[in-house]
Structure 1
């Protein structure tokens, strides 16, 4: 499931009303509440601070005085539609004097979240496999070229009497390494690692 890599904010203006959106990556409801306190402190004179969250099994929204189902729920729908996880969203509204009506509010709040999401970098947890290889210096050119070409992440390098690389991959490349080195270099599996990858 996608998550935002880091917090994002975005501001839009509709018929003189200002909508300031914050997307906050959050692991707990307590953290979300603390973040809301900070936002309310930053914008104490705002007309509304509408919120929604998807944190683990907690899926909730709050209209904060806007007509029922016109703010928090549309915000939440955008996040649910994109399957975003571990997120707390706040839209701060400064009323500009022109009423938007329920339909206008739904559109404004959902657009606020959508536009903020477009600015966000999304990540996803992926399972990687960690391997180690040891080889003579004769193969360093071939192996380095292969790793570069295939964007394989080397997590540690050690140069002694032999070269030792630890690397992580999504798919096993042992067959390629064996072919590349005429069967002389055999990758040794270490463990599986869960890692976030930008999507």
Structure 2
């Protein structure tokens, strides 16, 4: 039932370091596309004053998240929700922060569009939306390993692939979100931080 994502152990501490600087002291953090659920357990344990709400559109992922959560028995870790970022309505009314790790490039553009629309609706003023993953940036050479990764993603599904940060920024702006920070992360990933204006 439990899934394992090898990258989770490698990236969870660098991600948590940025979260510690950007998340509010209390409230609800909605994690979109929680995948295996390993991050949700780790971050809920790391930030006990925050309520962590994992979600995923895939029923097997939701089952994996539930299995990890059941084993962890953390009071601040909510049961996982079925949430498709591209859906018009989300099963969450509001959140104090929104985190999305490694979804943007492994999903069709509609998922990114929906993520920004949803974030614009549910975040309170000043609430952060944090995006982690590999991107293409203007005036920044894309690492050869990321170019190869981009090609492999497009071979699996032509709707997938590394997105341009300019496109992400434009989607954010359409939904009342402005980028406030870019953080270089290990393995040629970056963290983009947006806030509700």
Same-fold status (TM-score > 0.5): no
The two structures have a TM-score, normalised by structure 1, of 0.29
Q: Which of the two has higher C-alpha Rg? A: 1
Higher normalized helix content (fraction of residues):
2
Give the alignment's TM-score, normalised by structure 2.
0.29
Q: Which has the higher strand share?
A: 1
